[in-house]
Amino acid sequence: MKSLLKYIKDYKKESILAPLFKMLEASFELMVPLVMASIIDRGIAQNDTAQIVRMGLVLVLLAAVGLISSVTAQYFSAKAAVGFATKLRTALFGHIQSLSYTELDTIGTSTLITRMTSDVNQLQNGVNLTLRLLLRSPFIVFGAMIMAFTVDVKAALIFVVAIPLLSIVVFGIMIASIPLYKKVQTALDKILGRTRENLAGARVIRAFCNEESETACFEQENELLLNTQVFVGKISAAMNPVTYIIINIALVVLLWTGAVRVDNGIITQGAVVALVNYMSQILVELVKMANLIIQLTKALASAKRVESVFGISSSMPDGSITDVSTSEEAICFDHVCLTYSGGGDESLTDIHFTVKKGETVGIIGGTGSGKTSVVNLIPRFYDATKGTVRVNGRDIREYEIETLRNAIGVVPQKAVLFKGTIRENLMWGNENASSEDIEEALRISQAKEFVDTKDGRLDFMIAQGGKNLSGGQKQRLTIARAIVRKPQILILDDSASALDFATDAKLRAAVKGMENDMTVIIVSQRASSIQYADKIVVMDDGAVAGIGTHEELLADNQIYQEIYYSQFPDKKAKAAN
């Protein structure tokens, strides 16, 4: 929790003023029983109407000043809590963005979402209640005890016994419930993960008629969360009745002692009422403190979870070179191996090939052969565990990550578009792109033909995830987004799989016709998409099974022959003849 308090430093004034105004309110509240005692002993007992009116006005004044103090404290505490949560959430989001794919894969999306939302909200509520009650409640409790001593020492000894007992109950329950609230948040992570998977994969679930089984799994995890929450709720709920029992016993003893002392003429009736009022104030404040303790318990559990994310540092240190100057050797894989975190065996083994500037290189292979893993190393989404990947003659680890990725345009396997206009989505590639740049990118990516048919063209609103576009339309827009960047290296990772052969051919011809001497890497399972590349890399089980042109590989590479002839069986018949 200490490491998170730095996010409240810009709200020091509010953090000081909020409890101060609460203490001011509490001070006025502690005066009320004395005023009531005066009304009873001097006003009612002596039939002094003027005294009753004067003290009544004093009560109204105390109430008004207390209300103003309370509202002011609420304002400052809310401002500090919301500001703290805003800065914390921003810092957490920024830190998550700095993590590499390895850390994101390890932590999990659902966990990060829970910590960005639920956990930060718990911390916000914790800060708010802390500023309002952490000083006020103890101040009232001990202040009431001290004021009771000014009324009658013997009767006040009851307070000395009751308050430690109440403290034992409150803090004992807090210690018992802290680890349980951690379990609640962990169970919430699982629920969120399950919900996210079901919403994202709703079509797949329905296609395989798995609604009932998924509902059953959700109910099981939801039941676990419910049982955990009920159990910790029972422990927390014990706080109020136990404190009420102790307070009420103390009240009974106080009334009995007070009655005896009034009967003996030692104290007045007003003094007994004042003592009862002080005991009642202690009861109210302890109930508030119990709620504060419960909220603090949740906040502390959430704080540790948020701190654990901040404690994770990227396994990918940034380089220092800020200029990706071109060279004849655009890309070089120098005996590269890759093992994913927790993956066990190597996913890539001894990858070794070179791509010259301006070349178009195709990468082909069966499912799971490591094609995407190879191209993910170029923009440094992952770091090679052995060997070196070089871009323009330099180890990519020497470049600043932002500099390196600005020189590379990546079109991933899964076409991801964001909610917004077509223009806004394309400008993700280059926020300074002109209208001419966007139109050129649409033309090259073959997206212009369908964009021209949309209402508003570039101002057409895309739904979240591009749900109002077809698969081919989404792929063409993601290709356009990468081309707008005008990168030195363009990576098309099986990004034309939803395009028909004619559109795919037009796309490749348009990319090849670009004037900026761009190096192009095309990953595909279609032999037709890469057969005209300057060089083809054949992947098999994480290793390079062959490198050459289409003709060379078709002549002597068995894996390439199997892929090609499986897609063009008529060619195989001709070759056999």
**Lookup: tokens for 170:** 């409150």
Q: What is the pLDDT of residues 221-260, one digit of tens each?
A: 888 888 888 888 888 777 778 877 887 888 888 888 878 8
Residue given tokens 């797949």 in the structure block: 204
Q: Is the pLDDT of residue 559 over 80?
A: yes
For residues 490 and 503, give the distance between their C-alpha atoms in angstroms, rounded to a whole number.
18
Judge whether 147 and 139 are in contact, CB under 8 Å.
Answer: no
- DSSP secondary structure letter of residue 461: E
Q: What does the buried/exposed string (b/e) look like for 510-543 if buried means 16 or more CB atoms within 10 Å of the residue's CB?
A: bbeeeeeebbbbbbbbbbebbbbbebbbbbbebb
SS3 492: strand
Both tokens of residue 286?
Answer: 């302890």
Do 91 and 227 lie in a common domain?
Answer: yes
428: in domain? yes
Specify the range with the lowest mean pLDDT, choosing from 309-313, 347-351, 368-372, 566-570.
566-570
Domain boundary among 259, 282, 310: 310
How far apart CA 317 and CA 99 sit, in angstroms, is 10
> Whole-model pTM above 0.75?
no
- The overall average pLDDT reported for the chain is 83
Does the residue 113 lie in any domain? yes
Rounded to whole angstroms, the Cα distance separating 526 from 524 reads 5
pLDDT at 573 over 80: no
Q: Does residue 226 lie in a domain region?
A: yes
Q: Which of 325, 319, 469 is nearest to 399 (CA)?
A: 319
Residues 293 and 428 in one domain: no
Q: Is residue 244 part of a domain?
A: yes
Q: For residue 143, what is the domain's CATH number?
A: 1.20.1560.10
* Predicted confidence band of residue 577 (pLDDT cuts 50, 70, 90): low
- Count CA atoms closer than 13 A to 205's CA, side-chain side: 16
CB 559 within 8 A of CB 546: yes
Q: What is the DSSP string of 382-432?
A: S--SEEEEEETTEEGGGB-HHHHHHTEEEE-SS----SEEHHHHHTTT-TT
pLDDT tens, position by position, 505-557: 888 788 777 767 788 888 888 888 888 888 888 888 888 888 888 888 888 88
Of 486, 508, 531, which closes a domain? 486
What are the tokens at 191? 């629920």
Mean pLDDT for the stretch of residues 405-412? 86
- Dump pLDDT digits (tens) for 209-224: 888 888 888 888 888 8
Which band of pLDDT confidence, cut at 50, 70 and 90, is reported for residue 574?
Answer: low
Average the pLDDT over 39-51 and give the result. 76
Q: What is the CATH number of the domain that holds 441?
A: 3.40.50.300
Residues 415 and 304 in one domain: no
Residue 367 lies in a domain: no
SS3 at position 506: helix
Q: Which two tokens stand for residue 312?
A: 């994770």
In a domain, 331, yes or no: no
Per the structure, the complete domain to which residue 264 belongs is given by: 2-310
CA separation, residue 437 to residues 9, 485, 564 (Å):
45, 9, 36
Instruction: Write the CB contacts of 335 (distance below 8 Å, at least 6 apart in sequence).
Output: 350, 351, 352, 386, 387, 388
Predicted pLDDT of residue 139: 84
Q: Are residues 128 and 267 in the same domain?
A: yes
Provide mean pLDDT across the span 563-576: 71
User: Is position 335 within any domain?
Assistant: no
- Whether 148 and 19 map to the same domain: the answer is yes
pLDDT one-digit tens code per residue, 172-181: 777 777 778 7
How many structural domains is the chain composed of? 2
Q: Is residue 571 part of a domain?
A: no
Statement to judge: residues 60 and 201 lie in one domain: yes
Residue after which a domain boundary falls, among 486, 504, 537? 486
Burial degree of 569 (CB within 10 A; 0-12, 13-18, 19+)? exposed
pLDDT at 429: 80
Q: Answer positive or negative: Cα dihedral of 300, 305, 307, 308.
A: positive
Same domain for 417 and 278, yes or no, is: no
What six digits make up the tokens of 402? 């932002």
| Judgement on whether residues 306 and 431 belong to the same structural domain of the protein | no
Residue-level pLDDT at 321? 81
pLDDT number for residue 572? 61
